[in-house]
Amino acid sequence: MKNNSKSLQALVDKLQNELAVAHARIRALEGPSTPPKQVGASASASNQTDKSARAREVALHQTEEIAKLGHEIWDHVQEKTLFVSEELARIYGLSVDEYMLAVQKMEDYFKFVVPEDREAYKEFENRFQKEESFNPLSIEYRITRTDGKIRHLRQSSKLIPAEVGPPTQSLNVIQDITRFKQVEAELQRSRGALEESTEILALSASIANLGHAVWDYDDDKFLLVSDGWASCFGLTQDDFLEIAPDLDHYLLLVHPGDRERYKAYYYDESDFPQIDYRIIDSNGETRHVEQHYMLREQSGLDTAVVTIQDITENKKTEAQLIQSSKLITLGEMSAAMAHELNQPLNVIVLAAENAARKISQGTAEQSYLIERLERIVAQAKRASTIINHLRTFGREAKEEFYEVDLRKAAVGALELMGEQLRLAQVEVETNFDDDFPLVMGHQIQLEQMFINLYSNAFHAIKKNDPEERTILIEAFKSRGGEATIRVSDTGGGIPDSVLPNIFDPFYTTKSIEEGTGLGLSVSYGFVLAMGGTIAASNTELGVCFEIKIPSAIEDGTSN
């Protein structure tokens, strides 16, 4: 749009220059006439004068044709045209003879002027008639040609001095500026469209809580920030640039828990095309923002256009979605968990009944009763552990990231799903390396991720024969130092056409009763927030999910 406006403006300038040149040449041609030949003047001087006159006439025709500019001489006493150039007649779609016949008097000419411009033209003519000086008057108006086409004209009229008495004739120079007007209108439309696009863009940015800034990497400072950028921090543009003009001061607005991660993003942006982090606004509240950048080189400066979007409400919605997914998972496991709790309760009831019977019969020995009581205590602790684990799993994870062992999270998830898998005769195999790095994350979120993976594997293999129901969990340190865990199953795999979509929200191949399509999407979000990756691939027997998360030590967040 911007380039289009520039080209239109260039065309307008070109047309204006042509008009100026044409008028200049007309004025030159209107200059003092050749003085009468003196008696005795040489024949060569006479021939030279004739050649000069012919050259002036040719130049006049060329000027008029190029600039679409014609002229006429009008007699105010006789009220008729004395002379009209070919180009002027051509502007009206007529020949010279046809024009002279069509315009016998001023009223005839008024008929050419479009009705909407007729009064303005009459006023111009009246004003010109009263003009006593020889300064030209100009007007722009429209005519309707004999072929019905509308043309835009610019007319300049000037009195011609008379040898004796007041002037009775005038020179009217008329140029067809239709093309100029079309270009001007197109330029105006382009400007209007550009202004509208700019307004819509600004409105869209406001609705999306999106702001932008220009950053100078040479001096590590802001060159400018938009109002949308500053408003994310609860500030005006001027206040923001005063409070945080450079990197050191900007880091003070970043949440303390995210400063080191932001510095890593800043100094190695090639590995981090975007980043989610928290800021502290002017009211002291924590806000979540998402930042993107695009490098550019301009005038030898190393600069970037940076965008920032307030995603605080999105984060709240995401947290609610995660919690909903977790509660759905607990609901899906409720039957198996009830069976898991029934086992220790049954043992407790049986031990208590046996002890009570021995006591009532008078045959209860102390050692027997102590054994039964110890069994009751052990089973009660077991039930309490299950309940506490469920209660911990069910609450929302709001604390900061801390060091977590992925292997413990994988085992913790097995404790919650173990009974369900055992009842379905699913064999779970684990292969954990001892040399395994810690990561920065949440135990609860990681357990939820593993439960989602185990649940998907369970649904894939439960249709198999019992001896073909296997889940393999492997944990090892990758060559890059990341904590890597693979969860594989023997469920036959995922169709290749489906694989690219499995991490999309609400995408599922299960029935409505079996799943909501949130599990893998939520798991993807957990891993991404920890700076890791999660990917799925088909194996000979089923599907393998591989999770890689940077170690806490290499991430620079652990001593």
| pLDDT tens for each residue of 184-200 | 888 788 777 777 666 66
What residues pair up with 70 in beta bridges, in sequence order?
A: 174
Tell me, what DSSP letter sits at residue 522?
Answer: H
Instruction: Using alpha carbons, select from 332, 334, 323, 273 the residue that is nearest to residue 442.
Output: 323
**pLDDT value at position 44?**
56
Q: For residue 268, report the phi and psi dihedrals to the nearest 5 degrees.
A: -145, 60
Q: How confident is the model at residue 557 (pLDDT cuts 50, 70, 90)?
A: very low
Instruction: Using alpha carbons, select from 217, 253, 211, 260 the residue that is nearest to residue 531.
Output: 260
**CB 92, CB 146: distance < 8 Å:** yes
d(Cα 450, Cα 470) in Å, to the nearest integer? 15
Tell me, what DSSP letter sits at residue 464?
Answer: S
* Res 405 pLDDT > 50: yes
At which residue do the structure tokens 């001023």 appear?
106
**pLDDT value at position 35?**
44
The CA-atom distances, in angstroms, between 86 and each of 95, 107, 194, 419 are 7, 22, 42, 103
d(Cα 256, Cα 273) in Å, to the nearest integer? 22
**What b/e sequence results for 160-175 when a residue is b if at least 16 CB atoms lie within 10 Å of its CB, and e otherwise?**
eeeeeeeeebbbbbbb
d(Cα 334, Cα 390) in Å, to the nearest integer? 11
**CB 242, CB 225: distance < 8 Å:** no
Q: Out of 111-115, 133-137, 425-429, which region has the weakest mean confidence (pLDDT)?
A: 133-137
Q: 541 or 32, which is more confident?
A: 541
Q: How confident is the model at residue 34 (pLDDT cuts 50, 70, 90)?
A: very low
> CATH for 208-310?
3.30.450.20
The pLDDT tens digits for 269-302 are 545 567 888 899 989 988 888 888 877 766 566 7
Third-level CATH fold of 2-31+50-183: Beta-Lactamase (3.30.450)
Q: 2 or 450, which is more confident?
A: 450
**pLDDT value at position 361?**
83
Strands in 257-343 per DSSP E: 274-280, 286-298, 301-310
DSSP strand pairing (286-298 vs 169-176): unpaired
Q: 392 or 498, which is more confident?
A: 498
**CB 255, CB 286: distance < 8 Å:** yes
The pLDDT tens digits for 313-348 are 777 766 666 666 666 666 655 655 666 676 678 778
Q: 223 or 506, which is more confident?
A: 223
Instruction: Using alpha carbons, select from 447, 386, 457 the residue that is nearest to residue 426.
Output: 457
Tell me, what DSSP letter sits at residue 35?
Answer: P
Q: How confident is the model at residue 498 (pLDDT cuts 50, 70, 90)?
A: confident
Can you tell me the mean pLDDT for 150-168? 86
Measured N-to-C along each axis, helices 312-332 and 334-361 cross at an angle, to the nearest 10 degrees, of 50
* Res 7 pLDDT > 80: no
Q: List the end-to-end C-alpha distance of the chain, in Å, as a whole number.
A: 54
User: Considering the chain, what percentage of its residues have pLDDT values greater than 90?
Assistant: 17
**Taking every pair of C-alpha atoms in the chain, what is the biggest distance, in angstroms?**
169
Q: How confident is the model at residue 556 (pLDDT cuts 50, 70, 90)?
A: very low
**pLDDT value at position 438?**
92
**CB 323, CB 522: distance < 8 Å:** no
Q: Do the first three CATH levels of 2-31+50-183 and 208-310 match, i.e. the same topology?
A: yes
d(Cα 420, Cα 262) in Å, to the nearest integer? 42
d(Cα 89, Cα 96) in Å, to the nearest integer? 5
Indicate the SS3 state at residue 453.
Answer: helix
d(Cα 251, Cα 267) in Å, to the nearest integer? 13
**CB 291, CB 274: distance < 8 Å:** yes
Indicate the SS3 state at residue 162.
Answer: coil
Tell me, what DSSP letter sits at residue 297?
Answer: E
Can you tell me the mean pLDDT for 259-267? 84
Integer-rounded Cα radius of gyration of the chain: 45
Chain-wide mean pLDDT for the chain? 78
> CATH for 317-549?
3.30.565.10
- Structural domain boundaries in the chain: 2-31+50-183, 208-310, 317-549
**pLDDT value at position 292?**
85
Can you tell me the mean pLDDT for 27-44? 48
What residues pair up with 278 in beta bridges, in sequence order?
A: 288
**What b/e sequence results for 105-131 when a residue is b if at least 16 CB atoms lie within 10 Å of its CB, and e otherwise?**
eeeebeebbeeebeeebeebbeebeeb
**pLDDT value at position 483?**
92
**pLDDT value at position 240?**
92
Indicate the SS3 state at residue 143.
Answer: strand
* Res 137 pLDDT > 60: yes
Can you tell me the mean pLDDT for 206-217? 79
The torsion of the CA quartet 520, 526, 532, 537, rounded to 10 degrees, works out to: -10
The pLDDT tens digits for 409-428 are 898 888 877 777 888 888 98
d(Cα 277, Cα 402) in Å, to the nearest integer? 16
**pLDDT value at position 264?**
82
**pLDDT value at position 32?**
47
Q: Out of 83-92, 429-438, 504-513, which region has the weakest mean confidence (pLDDT)?
A: 504-513
* Res 172 pLDDT > 80: yes
At which residue do the structure tokens 């407790």 appear?
348
In order, the DSSP letters of 185-234 are HHHHHHHHHHHHHHHHHHHHHHHTTEEEEEEETTTTEEEEE-HHHHHHTT
The pLDDT tens digits for 142-156 are 999 989 999 999 998
**CB 462, CB 469: distance < 8 Å:** yes
Question: Averaging pLDDT over each range in 24-38, 343-357, 362-376, 483-497, which range is the top one?
Answer: 483-497
pTM: 0.42
**CB 413, CB 447: distance < 8 Å:** yes
Indicate the SS3 state at residue 88.
Answer: helix
The torsion of the CA quartet 44, 49, 54, 60, rounded to 10 degrees, works out to: 150
Q: Out of 64-78, 189-203, 372-386, 452-466, which region has the weakest mean confidence (pLDDT)?
A: 189-203
Q: Out of 210-219, 235-244, 469-478, which region has the weakest mean confidence (pLDDT)?
A: 210-219
